[in-house]
Amino acid sequence: MSMTATASMGMTGRDEGSSPLILSPRALRLPVAVSLLLHASVFAGVLYWWQASGAPAPKGLPEGLSVTFVDLSSPPSPAPAAPHMQAAPVEPKPVIEPKPEPVVEEVPAPVVPPEPAVVLDATPEPRPHIQPEPVQAAHAHAEPAAQQVASLAPPSRETGTGTAAPRGFEKTDGKETDQVTISEPRYRSTPLPYPRRARDLGQEGTARVRVKIDPRGLPAEVLLLESSGYALLDHAAVKAVGHWTFEPPTHGGRPVSGWAEVPVVYVLN
């Protein structure tokens, strides 16, 4: 190694004031060859001594040494250029035009003319006058109640004769009561519709109703005394009498309340 360094400095060095030394490649062959031979002989001697001593060869040490002379006078041949690969032309994808959506024509809805407004006549129909007895409405009528005679007052202690109370009133212990009994009630209005369900079923009968008439002539209380044999007719009779109007009973010139019995008859014609 030291010899190579010395030779290198001797070849490249120059004296002060002298012109630079230019060496050609041909002149460098001999020094390089001598240096390579010296190195090869040194390595060969070391390897021989190592094998003679019986020590194993160190790892990484090459088994043989080869020397290759390179001609520096001729420049190395350039490496062949890689063939130019031309990319294959890519065919453009066909452009798919969107199909136009079908145009749906809107069919106008038929115009429905408005129905003519129905004008209702608000004038109430005149209510026919119904005779008090017998009561008839919608194939039904009320029979006149049985006559009831008012009880007589006890005989007077002064005269020895008793005075009868007015017809339709009662006396209790010598005092007239407010709960009088009306033997023959008089009617103002007696609507009596026939139940449709009972008419379809062919039901007929007589329901006896007891009604309390107030001083205004209106039913204050309605009770069923005797059934007609059908619940539909009984319910209709009580409901109908509850909407009747009567002539209120009077006593001493003033209206009072009293009870009356009304038979309601349902007959199919």
The string of pLDDT tens digits covering residues 96-106 is 777 777 676 77
User: What's the alpha-carbon Rg for the chain, to the nearest Å?
Assistant: 73
* pLDDT for residue 49: 79
Question: Looking at per-residue confidence, does 10 or 207 come out higher?
Answer: 207
Q: Is pLDDT of 39 > 70?
A: yes
Tell me which of 27 and 4 has the higher pLDDT.
27
Check whether 260 has a pLDDT greater than 60: yes
pLDDT value of position 55: 58
Q: Residue 241: what pLDDT?
A: 94
CA distance 188 to 245: 5
Exposed / middle / buried, residue 97 (Cβ in 10 Å: 0-12, 13-18, 19+): exposed
pLDDT, tens only, 174-227: 344 456 778 788 888 888 899 999 999 999 999 999 999 999 999 999 999 999
Give me the chain's average pLDDT, please. Answer: 68
Q: What is the 3-state secondary structure (H, E, C) of the chain?
A: CHHHHHHHHHHHCCCCCCCCCCCCHHHHHHHHHHHHHHHHHHHHHHHHHHHHCCCCCCCCCCCCCCCCCCCCCCCCCCCCCCCCCCCCCCCCCCCCCCCCCCCCCCCCCCCCCCCCCCCCCCCCCCCCCCCCCCEECCCEEECCCCCCCCCCCCCCCCCCCCCCCCCCCCEECCEECCCEEECCCCEEECCCCCCHHHHHHCCCEEEEEEEEECCCCCEEEEEEEECCCCHHHHHHHHHHHCCCEECCCEECCEECCEEEEEEEEECCC
Quick one: average pLDDT of 102-117? 69
Predicted confidence at residue 182, as pLDDT, reads 80
Residue 180, strand partner residues: 258
pLDDT of residue 152 exceeding 60: no
pTM: 0.37
pLDDT of residue 75: 58
